Amino acid sequence: MKTYICFLTAAMLLAAAGCRKDLAFSEPDFEVSVERDQYQVGDTVAFLFRGNPDYLTFYSGESGNNYANRERTSVTGTPKMSFTSFAQYGTQQNTLSLLVSTDFSGKVDADIAQATWTDITSQAKLSTGADNTPSGEIDLSAFADGDKTVYVAFRYIGTQSATSAQKTWTIKNFQLYTETAAGEKVYSVNAIPAAGFTAVSIKNDDKKWTQNATQLQMAGGGANTPDNEDWIVAALIPNRVNPDWGVGIKDVTGTLNTFRYVLQQPGDREVVFVASNANVTGAKSITRKINIHVSQ
C-alpha cells in the first residue's frame, strides 16, 4: 500500500508540474527603453528592460547584426576582394600571381590547366618585403554572374637557380565582400578557413602551399631548389552572404534589467530585441524596437 501511495503521489506531482508549465507558457511581457536617441561612435548605450522573458536576443542594427537581414542570403552591389601579403627571403621576382576563372571545373588535380584563367595581379598591391601589405580593393564585377561560382587562385612559380633563392609568400586577412549602393560592406568570406582553399602541386611536391586558420603560405627554397609551380584555389560565389545573426543576452537561468552596448558604427539604426518564452510544448516571441542615431 505504501508503494502504491508513493507512485500515486509522484504521478500527481508530475501532472501538477505539467499544468503549471502550460499555464506559465504565454507571450512574453517585455518592454525596452533608452535615456536618449542620439549618440556617438564609442558611446555606451544602456537599454532598460521591464519584464522577465525566458530568452532575449539582441540585434544592434549594425552590419552583421541587423534584424532586417536575418534571412538574407544574397546581396546586390559591387563584389570585391582583398588580402594582405608578405614576401620573405629569396631574390627571385614575380613569383606570385593572382588569377580568376569562371570556367574551371573545380577538379584541381586534373583540369586546372584546361580552364581559362585571367591574370589580375596588376589589380593588387603585393608585398616587396613588408609584412601584411594591403592588396587594396580588387573589383570582381567582370567575373561575377548571379549565383555562378568564381574561382580565385594564387599561383606560385619558382625556378631552379644556382645563384638565386625562391621566395616565401604569406597571405593573410583574405576577404570577399559586396559593397552596396549605400556603401555597406557585406561579407561572404572574412577569414581564410571560410574561403575553402584547396592546394595543388604541379611541380616539386616537396614544396607546397600550406594553410591554417590565419594564413596561406608557400615557402620556396634556397639556391638549386627544383622548379616549383603550386596553386591554391578557392571556389567563391561573390554575392552569396551569410544571414545576420542576433546575440543571445539572456536565458531562463537569470533576470536582466539593463543591457549595455558600445556603439561601433555610425548612422541611423533600428535596434531590435526578440523576447521569447519557451518550453517543451512550443515558443512565443515578441519584438521590441528602438530607433537611434549614431554620429561619427
Annotate 112-158 with DSSP letters as a single string. Answer: TTTS--EE-GGGS---SS-TTEE---EE-TTT--TT--EEEEEEEEE
Q: Tens digits of per-residue pLDDT, 114-162?
A: 899 999 999 999 999 999 999 999 999 999 988 899 999 999 999 999 9
In DSSP terms, which residues pair with 162 in a beta bridge? none
Q: Provide the whole-model pTM.
A: 0.75
Q: Residue 5 has what pLDDT?
A: 36
**Distance separating alpha carbons of residues 89 and 14, to the nearest angstrom:** 72
Integer angstrom CA distances of residue 294 from 1, 58, 180, 186, 287: 71, 17, 20, 20, 22
Q: Residue 242 has what pLDDT?
A: 83
Q: Residue 110 has what pLDDT?
A: 65
Residues 6 or more apart in contact with residue 144 via CB below 8 angstroms: 79, 150, 238, 239
Extract the residue ranges of the chain whose pLDDT is less than 70.
1-25, 109-110
Q: Residue 42 has what pLDDT?
A: 95
